[in-house]
């Protein structure tokens, strides 16, 4: 349900999406993304997580970033635009926070740079990528939500778009802020999720 103000201090219903039954069927995050997709306006959508923030100076770069959908030299249509993240929790001073910040900086710059060029195998690794909304809305949504199988739900957007003929590009002139875990147990749990998701993805038809 999409609600808004009625102008008199109350709330009115703007639109609804009918559900066939129990809405909690799979993983919560990808289900929420796919349910929200019909309510998004425009042709592009940015996947922003709850522990992210934007910067004013980076917002000025959004127009040329959107233009990448039209001006890329890729063989097919660009459907995903990726870019790095600035780990603002690194400045907290904890050794573990510095470690996860360096790890994310390495993956978000050097690794993805090589995956994009020359390997051309950079996919979608979650937020804060820009996606072609029309492309994904006609192909089952921006995520897959089956429990346990789609534990790393974001990567399936990359699988899906590449199998459908879409292309992914990576641009480093834009970034958003990102908060990461600052204690060892949370970091260990995060990497355990990544490992489990990678193993589970091998059992799917997408790979």
H or E element at residue 136: helix 133-137
Confidence class of residue 60 from pLDDT cuts 50, 70 and 90?
Answer: very high
Q: Which one, of 126, 112, 100, lies nearest residue 48 by Cα? A: 126
Angstrom distances, CA of residue 166 to CA of 13, 80, 83, 139: 36, 8, 17, 12
R_g (Cα) of the chain, nearest Å: 18
Which backbone phi and psi does 13 adopt, to 5 degrees? -80, 125
Q: What pTM did the predictor assign?
A: 0.78
Tens of pLDDT, residue by residue over 101-141, are 787 788 878 888 888 888 888 888 777 889 999 898 888 88
Q: State the average pLDDT over residues 22-26.
A: 70
Q: What is the mean pLDDT of residues 8-34?
A: 79
Residue 23 has pLDDT above 70, yes or no: no
Helix axes 95-106, 184-201, angle to 10 degrees: 30
Peptide bond into 14 cis (omega under 30): no
Q: Are strands 176-178 and 85-87 parallel, antiparallel or unpaired?
A: parallel
Reduce the DSSP state of residue 59 to 3 states and report it: helix
Counting Cα atoms < 13 Å in the Cβ hemisphere of 122 gives 28
Q: In 10 A of CB 32, how many CB atoms?
A: 13
């Amino acid at each position: 349900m999409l609600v808004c103000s009625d102008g008199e201090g109350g709330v009115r219903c703007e639109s609804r999406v009918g559900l066939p039954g129990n809405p909690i069927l799979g993983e919560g995050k990808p289900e929420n993304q796919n349910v929200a997709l019909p309510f998004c306006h425009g042709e592009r959508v940015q996947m922003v997580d709850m522990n992210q923030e934007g910067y004013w100076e980076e917002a000025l770069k959004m127009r040329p970033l959107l233009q990448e959908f039209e001006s890329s030299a890729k063989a097919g249509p660009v459907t995903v635009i990726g870019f790095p993240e600035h780990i603002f929790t690194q400045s907290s001073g904890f050794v573990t926070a510095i470690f996860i910040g360096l790890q994310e900086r390495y993956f978000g710059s050097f690794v993805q740079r090589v995956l994009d060029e020359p390997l051309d195998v950079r996919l979608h690794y979650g937020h804060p990528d820009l996606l072609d909304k029309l492309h994904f809305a006609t192909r089952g949504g921006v995520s897959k939500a089956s429990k346990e199988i789609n534990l790393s739900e974001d990567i399936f957007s990359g699988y899906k778009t590449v199998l459908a003929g879409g292309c992914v590009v990576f641009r480093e002139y834009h970034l958003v802020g990102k908060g990461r875990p600052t204690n060892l147990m949370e970091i260990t749990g995060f990497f355990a999720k990544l490992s489990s998701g990678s193993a589970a993805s091998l059992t799917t038809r997408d790979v």
